[in-house]
Amino acid sequence: MSSSSSSSSPPSSVGRAPPRGRKTYNIPLKSTQNNIMADSNFVNATEKGDIPTFDGSEKAKATDFANYFCSYAQLYHQKQMLADHNRMAAYHSAIMGNADVFKDKVVMDVGTGSGILAVWAAQAGAKRVYAVEYTNMAAHAKSLMEANGVADIVTVIQGAVEDIELPFEEHNLQPESDSKHQVVDIIISEWMGYFLLRESMLDSLIRARDKFLKPKTGLMFPSHTTMYVSPIHDEDERKISNHEYGGAMTEWSEFVDSTKSVYGVDMSILAKDYEREQKEYYLLSSRWAELPPDAVLATPAMVKQLDMCTCTLADSKGIFSGDPNTEFDFDVVSDENPGATISGFAGWFTADFKSRTDEEGSAAPLLSNPAFLSTGPENGYTHWGQQVFHLLSSIPLIQGETTRLQGSLEMTRSKENARLYNCRIRYSSTRRKAGESKDGKVLMKGGVVEHVYQIP
């Protein structure tokens, strides 16, 4: 994917606040704070650091609803996601393109929202669909089923998927195993957040899978997801962030002088904490971006891959040191990227809708028409976009030389809010002549740089 970047390139669309249906959060994310007990009014996590919908106190569940679920009860947010045509086309192709797999099957839609995936499942021939929705959007979903003539097939269930039960006897559902709960043939869900894991809805999906899906023949839509990272050129936006940070610090200096001269109080003792806050906000927070394809400076590296039939709750908690694929090694060739600098890294994900690949699922139905969704720059707009992690100082590319970036990426949940993540990026850079072997003579070697970014 390495390509040139020039002044004629379209500008990236960048912002801190989640656009297009991904909600903002009221709880600040601070990577440097100590552990806070989950009983606090300002913590959106259980004592174990899990999302509160499972094993959380009523207080924790109420906080989680107020800070996460409530926005999904708004048709405005649903509309913005439904208007993402890359998203919609992938799910529609996966479901309607594999109608033979859905025919006469029991389907569960986890987090149905407006209910459109459940409607498609019914239209594809499912004999029974359970559309699970925690918020009051469930009422709109019921209306949608009736308006589209599938209310006799789709049962909308309002509640957390961790808490609900299916009407086994009423609908004569037949389990595959000894567990009476495992009666679902297919689970469909649009659970993915920014850089895949943000929002931590994967926890709920895994619990639903383990409780309701037939273990040997059941299917997950999507079936596999993959996270990617790449160095990028996004210098204009990086400079804007630095300029805003500088402006904030200048304002603080003027404020301190004014407060002392007018009111006789010296506020300078707070300067270090104020600077830390502003640095976290302006420089060490990831940004949503719609990057042009030529902003990508090297072949993207896979940093995590999930098989949705076998991934665990531990997998959902992030990317940890020592995990497979956490280390990266990029070669950025200056002659292939004229006029570019390395401004930072960007992360995104892909989702596959294909046949099972795990050993236990060898008897599961095969998908004759696999589908694919990418949220990378090469695929154009999606409401997920890419998450951009700007460097505090850019790395120049020297004509006739190759810059090598070696490092690692870790991603862990915020202690204050289990639905948000911090991302630690550690890297070092070297330069060598173009054409020199990867481990050949080095012209320049930089030190190790490490930053922890908030993914707000």
Which active-site residues does the annotation give?
190, 199
**Per-residue buried b or exposed e for 204-214, using 16+ beta carbons within 10 Å of the residue's own CB:** bbbbbbebbbb
> In terms of Cα–Cα distance, which of 215, 183, 200, 218 is closest to 54?
200
The angle at the Cα of 117, spanning 116 to 123, to the nearest 5 degrees, equals: 90
Contact 373, 276 (CB under 8 A): no
Contact 82, 91 (CB under 8 A): no
CA-to-CA distance for 305 and 118, rounded, in angstroms?
26
Cis ω for the linkage preceding 222 (within 30 of 0):
yes
φ and ψ of 301, to 5 deg: -105, 135
CA-to-CA distance for 390 and 454, rounded, in angstroms?
12
CA-to-CA distance for 86 and 176, rounded, in angstroms?
35
- Tokens representing 204? 């709920």
E strands along 233-378, which residues?
A: 287-290, 301-307, 318-319, 327-333, 341-353, 371-374
- Tokens representing 360? 């236990």
248 CB-near residues (< 8 Å, 6+ apart):
278, 282
> In terms of Cα–Cα distance, which of 289, 307, 396, 362 is closest to 14?
289
> In terms of Cα–Cα distance, which of 24, 410, 328, 384 is closest to 196?
384
Q: How many CB atoms lie within 10 A of CB 15?
A: 12
52 CB-near residues (< 8 Å, 6+ apart):
38, 44, 45, 46, 60, 61, 63, 64, 418
CA-to-CA distance for 69 and 51, rounded, in angstroms?
12
